[in-house]
Amino acid sequence: MTAEQRRQLDAILRQSAIPSDSDVAEQRRLLHALASAQPLASDVVVTTTELGGVPTVEITVEGIASRHVVLYFHGGVYVLGDAFSAAGLASEVGRRAGAKVFSVDYRLAPEHPFPAAVDDALSAYEALLRRGTAPSDVVFAGESAGGGLSVATLVNARDQGLPLPAAAYAMSPYADLTLAGATIETKREVDATLSRELLQPRVTDYTAGEDPALGLISPVFAVLSGLPPLLIQVGSHEVLLDDAVRLARQAATADVDVTLDITAGVPHVFQTFRPLLDEADTALNRAGQFLSAHLTDADLLTG
């Protein structure tokens, strides 16, 4: 962990930041270019597949042959990103959890506004269960919008009467699309990637006239009782810090086993930058221990 690493990463992010006044097509192009700049590890295999009619990519790491599954949701404010571009980070989660990964290519707004992403996420999980995967062998994970979507999918699955996975891991969750978190303003100078100006138009794209305070859009407002253990990781240098803090508080109030893990001085979804930032690797290791422990605990309970 070095201050120099953090300074270098901040400079890189500011240089490659997405302009808030660019259109959706340009923002998609820029995010894809940024994600593609980090090659996959040589032992990672990505295969196109589907779950319940929803496109996914199956991500495996050489030497890991397990029945355990990470159902992964990529970020991109519900408008940008794709399952393949998230494969680098998703594979590191799978590696540390000792599991294969299915990254869900849910439909994006504005072409497909809410509830398309929520519906696709639930359909993918239902398909896993129909294939015979035990819920105790599944964990959810996601970053940014995918972190919020992972929690929303837990809520949706609970409300639909489905058995819930063993645990969930949310990185820098985008969990309040009303943008009411105090750190939207107080952290704007230190956040090199996100801002109210960048987020607000994409909120409109996704909500398409629906109330952004609905629980399946903004899980900070959802009833979280009955959810499995949650790990929420966030950096102190991001405007979504308050989303993570309030989501953890909401979960704790609902008697959910929740761990809030805040790393000082690091940016939004800092785990992505594992090759550049020591804190990213150590945070992923903590997440792997959390996920594998809950998968193992489930084995003991069902074995």
Which residues participate in catalysis according to the annotation?
144, 238, 268
Angle, to 10 degrees, between the axis of helix 278-302 and the axis of helix 87-97?
50
| 50 φ, ψ (degrees, to nearest 5) | -155, 155
Burial of 112 (0-12, 13-18, 19+ CB in 10 A): middle
- The answer to whether 107 and 116 are in contact (CB under 8 A) is yes
Q: What are the tokens at 62?
A: 């050489």
Q: Closest by alpha carbon to 176, among 152, 140, 158?
A: 152
Whether the CA torsion 282, 91, 69, 95 is positive or negative: it is negative
Distance CA 228, CA 167 (A): 5
Q: Which two tokens stand for residue 58?
A: 């199956």
Query: Cβ distance 108 to 27 under 8 Å?
Result: no
Backbone angles phi, psi at 37, to 5 degrees: -70, -20
